[in-house]
Chain A
Amino acid sequence: MKQKWDGTTSLPIFVCKKGCEVMSKLQKSAYSYALIVPGIALYSIFFILPAMAGLVLSYTNVHTFNIQEITFAGLQNYINIFTDNSLKIAIKNSLIFGAVTTVFKVFLGMILALFLSNKLRTTNFLRTTFFLPAVLNSVSVGLIFTAMMHPSTGIINGFLKTIGLGGLAQNWLTNPQLAIFSVANIEIWKWTGFTMVILLAGLQSIPQSYYEVADIEGTTGFQKFRYVTFPLIMPAFTNALVVNMIGGLKSFDLVQAVTQGGPGSATEVLGTLVYKSFGSGRYGEGCAASIILCVIVLVIVLPTFKYFSGKEVEV
Chain B
Amino acid sequence: MKLKRLVSLALAVVMIASLAACGQSGSSTSSQSTPVASVQSQDKEIKTLTMLTFTEWYKTGWQALEKYINDHSQELGFKLDIQKIAGGSQGEDILKVKFATDDLPDLLQSYGSSWLDKQANSINKMVDLTGISSVSQYDAAVLQEGGYLYNGKLYGMPVDTTNLLGVFYNKKVFKEAGIEKVPSNWNEFLDACEKVKKVNKVPLYYSGKDAWTLQCFAHFGFNEEVLKSGKDFTDFWKEMNTNKRHYADNKDFLGAIERSKEMVDKKYVNPTYLSDTYDMAQTALAKGDAAMYVNATWVIDEISSKYPDAVNDIGAFPLPLYDKDNYTSSSLPSSIGMTTKCKDMELGKKAIDFISSDTAQQIYANAQTGIYLNKNVKVKLAPAQQDLDDVMKAGKSMPLWQGSGNEYGYGTFDKYVQDYYVGSRTADDVLKALDEETAKNAKAANDTNWK
The chain A residues found within 8 Å of chain B, CB to CB, are 61-66, 69, 71, 73, 76, 80, 85, 146, 149-152, 171, 173-174, 176, 260-266, 276, 278-282, 284-285
A262 to B100 CA separation, bound complex (whole angstroms):
34
Q: How far is the CB of A290 from the nearest CB of chain B, in Å?
A: 16
Q: Which residues in chain B, 390-420, are within 8 Å of chain A measured between CB atoms?
A: 409, 411-412, 415-416, 418-420
Could you give, for residues 336-371 of chain B, a 1 whenever the CB lies within 8 Å of some chain A CB and a 0 otherwise? 000000000000000000000000000000000000
Q: Is B421 located at the chain interface by the 8 A CB criterion?
A: yes
Q: Are B424 and A264 in contact (CB under 8 A)?
A: yes
Q: Are B443 and A65 in contact (CB under 8 A)?
A: no
A151 to B276 CA separation, bound complex (whole angstroms):
9
Q: Is B197 located at the chain interface by the 8 A CB criterion?
A: no
Contact of A61 among B271, B274, B425, B446 (CB under 8 A): B446
Q: Are A276 and B412 in contact (CB under 8 A)?
A: yes
Query: A171 contacts which chain B residues (CB < 8 A)?
Result: 272, 274-275
Q: Which residues in chain B, 250-296, are within 8 Å of chain A measured between CB atoms?
A: 271-272, 274-275
Q: Are A264 and B416 in contact (CB under 8 A)?
A: yes
Q: Is B7 located at the chain interface by the 8 A CB criterion?
A: no
Q: Are A76 and B275 in contact (CB under 8 A)?
A: no
Q: Are A264 and B100 in contact (CB under 8 A)?
A: no
A285 to B437 CA separation, bound complex (whole angstroms):
12
Q: Are B275 and A174 in contact (CB under 8 A)?
A: yes
Query: A261 contacts which chain B residues (CB < 8 A)?
Result: 415
Q: Are A262 and B211 in contact (CB under 8 A)?
A: yes
The chain B residues found within 8 Å of chain A, CB to CB, are 89, 92-93, 96-97, 99-101, 119-121, 208-209, 211, 271-272, 274-275, 409, 411-412, 415-416, 418-425, 433, 437, 440-441, 443-446
A73 to B443 CA separation, bound complex (whole angstroms):
9
Contact of A264 among B89, B101, B121, B419 (CB under 8 A): B419
Q: Are B444 and A150 in contact (CB under 8 A)?
A: no
Question: Closest B-chain residue to A276, C-beta based?
Answer: B412
Q: Are B433 and A64 in contact (CB under 8 A)?
A: no
Q: How far is the CB of B87 from the nearest CB of chain A, in Å?
A: 13
Query: B121 contacts which chain A residues (CB < 8 A)?
Result: 64, 66, 69
A65 to B125 CA separation, bound complex (whole angstroms):
14
Question: Closest A-chain residue to B437, C-beta based?
Answer: A280
7 residue pairs from A and B, CB less than 8 Å apart: A71-B446, A174-B422, A261-B415, A264-B421, A281-B409, A282-B440, A282-B444
Provided the pairs A150-B272, A262-B418, A280-B409 are in contact, do residues A64 and B425 lie with their beta carbons within 8 angstroms? no
Q: Are B444 and A284 in contact (CB under 8 A)?
A: yes
Question: Closest B-chain residue to A150, C-beta based?
Answer: B275
Provided the pairs A65-B97, A264-B424 are in contact, do residues A152 and B444 lie with their beta carbons within 8 angstroms? no
